Amino acid sequence: MNISIVMINYNSSAHTLDCLKSITDSKPTVSFEAIVVDNASRNDDLQNLESNIGAYPWAKLVKNEFNLGFSGGNMSGFAYCQGQYIFFLNNDTRVLPGSLDAMFLFMEQHPDTALCSPTIYSEENQRTASFEYIPTVANKLLGASLLRIFKPANYPKRKTHYQHPIAVPVVSGATMFFRRSDFEQLGGYDTEYFLYCEEEDFAIRLHKKNKPIYLLNNAKVIHLGGGSTERDLAIEKEFYISFWRLLRKHYPVYSRSIIKSVYLLKECKRAITKPNRRPLLKFLLKGCPKNQSLRYKQGNQ
């Protein structure tokens, strides 16, 4: 098996089924399978998925009793993977023709690369920023544009349309194509993250091993965005819980203190003019307690 595709379904079966159809329509020539992980969706959504996934005989449904979040859900799917490469794919994406073959061929030709990602397009077929920068004290205080003057390789322009594969700091967590051996060697996703920062965490671990990450120009997906989650206070809190964990895990005390201060200052400014931001500021001042994570708010709705 060349490629195992892992995607999570959470109350969004219509997106999942459309994504599976796009994989068929992309007509890959490499061998592949899909592991669809249902993260304790509502009964009606799960039933819709169970009733229609049979149209894709290469797809297997795994049902989690609880919502394990992004990292936990993907790791439960990974346990069933047979592929040489693992493509973790958001269900609110559409795979465009030739993309699976392009990623497979690139990785075969670049054995030193552990992770690559397709270029991401919007629903209106507009190219979007498909990678990010690893947060540092320098880029939080000075900005990427200034730092690019001194370290251009570390800060490629996010809005440039690249005509060739390019090494990037962090690719989108929505579309991560791993060499299985590297993914296993680094221990897979850190399941302490429920949502957010998984891609930054993995990128930091890869860079410590001098493993490059590439964005490919000839592999493309459409990302609709927001298929399973909507931005609200609970989601904002979840981001900060994960981000604070990322800082604790990878950054020395002085660095994480400065970066936290930058975010706190931004939220203070927002709270002055936007009273609805004040509960979030209070949450940050309390140190982002983990007991307020969505991980602990389970149950079908």
Q: Which CATH number is 3-223's, of 1.10.260.40, 1.10.599.10, 3.40.50.1000, 3.90.550.10?
A: 3.90.550.10
Higher pLDDT, residue 130 or 299: 130
- Segments making up each domain of the chain, as ranges: 3-223, 233-296
What residue type is assigned to position 38 of the chain?
A: D
Helix, strand, coil shares of the chain, percent, nearest 5, are 45, 20, 35
* pLDDT, mean of residues 288-299: 88
Q: How far apart are CA 233 and CA 275, in angstroms?
A: 12
Question: Taking 70 as the threshold, does the pLDDT of residue 166 lie above it?
Answer: yes
> Which pLDDT score, from 0 to 100, does residue 301 have?
44
Q: How far apart are CA 233 and CA 11, in angstroms?
A: 19
Read off the pLDDT band of 227 (50, 70, 90).
very low
> Which pLDDT score, from 0 to 100, does residue 231 have?
61
> Which pLDDT score, from 0 to 100, does residue 161 have?
87
- Candidates 1, 3, 6, 61; CA nearest to 175 is 6
In eight-state DSSP terms, residue 127 is: B
Say if strands 59-64 and 32-39 run parallel, antiparallel, or are unpaired: parallel
Q: How far apart are CA 23 and CA 10, in angstroms?
A: 19
The whole-model pTM stands at 0.94
* pLDDT, mean of residues 151-159: 91
Q: How far apart are CA 105 and CA 102, in angstroms?
A: 5
Read off the pLDDT band of 300 (50, 70, 90).
very low
> Which pLDDT score, from 0 to 100, does residue 225 have?
74
Tell me: the pLDDT tens digits for 98-120? 999 999 999 999 999 999 999 99
Whole-number CA gyration radius for the chain: 19
